Every structure is written in C-alpha cells, then in structure tokens.
Amino acid sequence: AQSVSQHNHHVILSEAASLELGCNYSYGGTVNLFWYVQYPGQHLQLLLKYFSGDPLVKGIKGFEAEFIKSKFSFNLRKPSVQWSDTAEYFCAVNLSNTGFQKLVFGTGTRLLVSP
Amino acid sequence: DTAVSQTPKYLVTQMGNDKSIKCEQNLGHDTMYWYKQDSKKFLKIMFSYNNKELIINETVPNRFSPKSPDKAHLNLHINSLELGDSAVYFCASSQDSASGIEQYFGPGTRLTVT
C-alpha cells in the first residue's frame, strides 16, 4: 500500500538556522508530491507541489523541495528559518493514475523555531 | 471571504449521540473531501464527492454518512458516536477530481466524544 513517512516528528531550531525535513514515500509509479503547512490554529495551506519537470521546486515563504526519484524522497528545505515558521508540516503524495485525487499524508513534523 | 468553512469549530458530545458537521466552499470547486486527523496528527481521507456524487469512500464505518446537497456543500453525519471518533475533521475542496490539483482545507472541527 502507498505510504508516506516523515521521520522527524519534532524539530527545534533557532532563528536563522537551516531546515531540512525528510519525506519518503513508497510507490513505484508516477506520483504528485505536496508539502502542506498548518500554522497554529489555522488551516492547512499548500507550501509547494511537484507534478513534473524540474525536480527542484520553489514554494512560498522561501521554502523549496527536491524530488529525488531514485530515493523516493521529497525533502523540504529552507536556508534560514524564522520564528513565524513555527508550524506543523505535512508531506503528501497523490497517485497520478488513479483518476481521482486521493492524497496520502505523512504523520507530520512539528517545527518550533525559537527567537 | 473564507474559502472553505466548517461548522461547528468545536463539538463535545456523549457516546451514543448523533451529530453533524457542515462544510461549505465558495470557490466554485467541483470536488469536496472529508479527512480525519487523529490524536497523533495522522491525516486520512474518508470521503470524496465530485459534483455531488460519491467517488471515494475509504473503509469508514457505516455510522459515518456524508451528504452533498449541492456542489458547494458536503456535510458529515455521524450516528452512535464512539470514543474513537474523537478527532479533528477537516473538509477540503479542489477544482476537480483530477490528480494533482491543489486542495483547499477548512479550519477543522474538533470533535470530542465523552
């Protein structure tokens, strides 16, 4: 069965530190990949997405992610985090051949950025 | 101008009761979803409707019954509530049901069953 793993459940960083959150999925076919963010008390919002083309995807607020097909990974990065990046981050995968969109989410990574 | 709204935001009820959660989207989208997020933050799809028709129905107990009176609304009715139903329920919508289309999420409804 398709699954998504986020190995870092809790991450604590100081402001200006670099961030990398891991995401691995298990499916051998074509996938669409997403990172969603949930700020405290707010909705899930899309940070970035990968469908095809350049495997390095840039999203909002300075985030980027790299799709490495051989490693089944889609890690999220940011060179310098801010206190306002404190949030829960979810990786999600969608099979592109199902006809209907069905997102499978990872368990999330809680990021705390201290000022 | 809330894109996807849910009511109520919080719901506390006792075991055995029947309750409903409402969802509305004003984005003109064709497809709507219900997700359940458990206490460990695991988010899993429950149902999906496209143009008022059910297209995804995960292995959800029959006590859960979604209803879509029109494209803009997808309600979730839960019968005979159990302790394990305690969770945050998120509604979402997307332009259509094709793969890869961004989903827009509502603020969630925190259901607590005592």
Q: CB A16: neighbour CB atoms within 10 A? A: 10
A105 contact B CB<8A:
yes
- Which chain A residue has the Cα nearest residue B50? A100
Q: What is the pLDDT of residue A98?
A: 63
- Domain membership of residue B104 (yes or no) is no
pLDDT of A57-75, one tens digit each?
Answer: 999 999 999 999 999 999 9
Tell me, what CATH number does B52's domain have? 2.60.40.10
Q: Please check the confidence at residue B1 and state whether its pLDDT lies above 70.
A: no
Residues 5-64 of chain A whose Cβ lies under 8 A from any Cβ of chain B:
32, 34, 36, 42-46, 49, 51
Q: How far is CA B52 from the centre of its chain?
A: 14
Domain residues for the domain of B87 are 4-98+109-113
Q: Please check the confidence at residue B36 and state whether its pLDDT lies above 70.
A: yes
What is the residue-averaged pLDDT of chain B? Answer: 91
* Least confident piece of the model among A32-46, A86-100, B1-15, B43-57: A86-100
Q: What is the pLDDT of residue A2?
A: 72
pLDDT of A22-61, one tens digit each?
Answer: 999 998 778 889 999 999 888 899 999 998 899 999 999 9
Looking at domain A3-114, its CATH class is mainly beta
What is the residue-averaged pLDDT of chain A? Answer: 91
B98 contact A CB<8A:
yes
> For residue B1, with 0-12 CB atoms within 10 Å meaning exposed, 13-18 middle and 19 or more buried, which class applies?
exposed
Nearest-angstrom CA–CA distance, A87 and A85 = 6
pLDDT of B62-98, one tens digit each?
Answer: 999 999 999 999 999 999 999 999 999 999 999 887 7
Nearest-angstrom CA–CA distance, A103 and A106 = 10
Q: Which residues of A102-115 are buried (b: 16+ CB within 10 A; e: fewer)?
A: bbbbbbbbebebee
- Domain membership of residue B80 (yes or no) is yes
- Domain membership of residue B103 (yes or no) is no
- Domain membership of residue B10 (yes or no) is yes
Q: How many domains does chain B have?
A: 1
Contacts of A59 in chain B (CB under 8 A): none
Q: What is the pLDDT of residue B98?
A: 76
